Structure 1
């Protein structure tokens, strides 16, 4: 995108064409450098009793590669194995939250105010006027913007390892945006915050235990930690298989059962004050599964990591396939919202859980 206001924005096709040579160079030597060596023990408890839970591909961006999630038979922790390397993280995140995908993701996140308000309200039974709040994994800062409705007197800062935190600060959604890794920045933030939140962040981190330790450092004594993550024990994980959106491969590296997270928080010096399942459930599972399946069978869109653009015939076939799938998308939406949502918790279908913990 040009910085000259007189220059019109490039079309998506032009952006894709400009990015294609760089992706071709990245892929020229194969995919091996994007993965670390496969590990033989659980990164959560150290057990060697591992089993394969899922094999899949990138169903969102359709970047090349195959990804495996293993599960520990001892503690039930689910983790990507082999895990993405630093080069792999850069490759698979590129043009998802920023670059080519920035506008679309910004619109998606910006339209979820009601959900963000519900997250902010989950703190009210424990503290109603926090002075300083750090949102880790803030993205473009839309949660912080919405949370001011619930906590108008609170100063919100955001932290992210992409440039989203800087974008959020420029847009005025956060008072201060930190770019970088939380464990590395936490020393300079020690005891500075009344609240630290991690909404759908922990599953993206390479070392969740270090992120929790960083939260403990950043919080003042008596401060609160809010964590929301996908629930790997959701029945949808089994029923929908690779079409369950919260697997989100290859971005989600760790999926932690709630019992494991509760125990780890207690070990670190937290008291868990609340556990929620129905409240953080996002009613999109069937809609997302229908979309992922349709998108998988349709010819590919124009993507810079593909060697050539689609032909006119392929574009027509893609449009025809997606239009034919509209009834399935509508049915999935209605079932998600009006049939499953009221019963998600009792049926074990809730796709996320939330913990509120106090630093002792």
Structure 2
């Protein structure tokens, strides 16, 4: 996540962002984006690594080459795989400027309402995440959700654990919104490792749901978690599974690649080993439960959206004309039957067998700090 103020923020504008028409908001953002692009994309990337950031081995192979299939911002991205430990990582990795550019208007700004509505409607999934802690600590007093976004998980988890105080931490101003809306008791905004020293041994549970893959240094995040969890407390981690068969079968259309945001995709054996070395005992490993049955639907949608003419966006030099808008609408409508079939397969054919088929798109670990 990036710490930034975007155009259209109510604090910076004479009128609330939601009262401004989308086309006007996009037009207002276009000059800044075009200036960024005119300066070149090279500054958005660090030098390419020749060794694995997880184990240091130099036996690397290219696993994926792709583009930004969600926002369609310019750029090409490469994921390399370590042949020794299996770690998959973005190479070259985004620089600080690149992270700011590619995150901008995804979780906040233009994308805030859309993503907020999406995350807000996933109550059943959030409850399942909270319930995964019940066998290990049925009544934790304090819980910190790292990468909490707008705090929707904490709001749903409170129904499962009504006696637990939930705090949230995030880079973006979404955590401040979460505190104002009462979804978290306390919202911390900033870098987790930088804040860990003031949170030492404060929490019975620290959770990282689809957070670690976004971090520039996963090991540093895990060390911060160890500092923050009290002895005997638990760390709950959920991340995409790079060993899922869907990752190979769907290729660039596999949603959890999520380029360019996902910087590290860690095989479960690697994460178990690292947690053990940090003084944790892994007490549960789940694959079927965290699987999100959207792989085929998302794959079809990404392919359709990629083939269709672009929708308006401030990183485009100009808005699309009427003909391109019509062509886009026609293609997407024509793809509805494929989207329906993909949804049915995801939910009713694949989901019950996801772990047995090896296509679970995520895994979850519960680890106790010794």
Is TM > 0.5 for Structure 1 vs Structure 2? yes
User: Is 2:32 aligned against 1:19?
Assistant: no
* Separation (CA, whole Å) in 2 of partners of 1:181 and 1:273: 28
Structure 2 equivalent of residue 292 of structure 1: 302
Looking at structure 2, the residues matched to 7 and 102 of structure 1 have their Cα atoms a distance apart, in angstroms, of 11
Work out whether 1:63 is the aligned partner of 2:68: no
The residue number in structure 1 matching 2:51 is 41
Choose from 188, 202, 211 the match for 2:212: 202
Which sections of structure 1, spanning at least 5 residues, go unmatched?
none
1:100 maps to 110
Structure 1 residue 163: Cα displacement: 1.3
Aligned to 1:171: 181
How far is 1:197 from its partner? Answer: 0.1
Q: Distance in 2 between matches of 1:22 and 1:7?
A: 18
1:237 correspondence with 2:230: no
Structure 1 residue 316 corresponds to structure 2 residue 326: yes
Q: How does 1:113-262 map to 2 (within 5 A)?
A: 113-262=123-272
Q: How far apart, CA to CA, are the structure 2 residues paired with 1:116 and 1:68?
A: 31
SS in 1 for 2:298: helix
Q: Distance in 1 between matches of 2:67 and 2:198?
A: 39
Partner Cα distance (1:139, 1:246) in 2: 18
Alignment of 1:269-280 (within 5 A): 269-280=279-290
Query: Which stretch shifts more, 105-114 or 164-173?
Result: 164-173
Q: Distance in 2 between matches of 1:67 and 1:143?
A: 30
Cα deviation for residue 68 of structure 1 reads 0.1
CA deviation map 1:48-75 (0-9, x unaligned): 0000000000000000000000000000
Task: Mark the CA change 1:22 to 1:235 in structure 2 (over 3 Å): closer, same or farther.
Answer: same
Tell me, in whole angstroms, the C-alpha distance in 2 between the residues paired with 1:5 and 1:159. 28
The runs of 5 or more residues in structure 2 that have no matched partner are 1-7
What whole-Å deviation, never above 9, does each CA across 1:104-159 have from its counterpart, x for those lacking one? 00000000000000000000001111111000000110000000011001110100
Q: TM-score if structure 1 supplies the norm length? A: 0.99
SS of 1:24 mapped into structure 2: helix
Q: For residues 5 and 242 of structure 1, do their structure 2 counterparts lie closer, same or farther at Cα, with a shift above 3 Å needed?
A: closer
- Deviation at 1:170? 1.1
Which residue of the partner structure matches residue 341 of structure 2? 331
Q: In 2, distance between residues paired with 1:16 and 1:58?
A: 19
Greater than 6 Å deviation, 4+ residue runs: 5-8
**Structure-1 separation of matches of 2:99 and 2:16:** 35
Q: Distance in 2 between matches of 1:355 and 1:145?
A: 22
Q: Distance in 2 between matches of 1:308 and 1:6?
A: 25
SS of aligned partner of 1:345: helix
> 1: CA distance between counterparts of 2:138 and 2:257?
34
TM-score relative to the length of structure 2: 0.96
Find the residue that maps to 2:357 and give its secondary structure.
coil
What is the aligned partner in structure 2 of residue 351 from structure 1?
361
- C-alpha root-mean-square deviation of aligned residues, in Å? 1.1
Cα distance change on mapping 1:6 and 1:338 into 2, 3 Å: closer
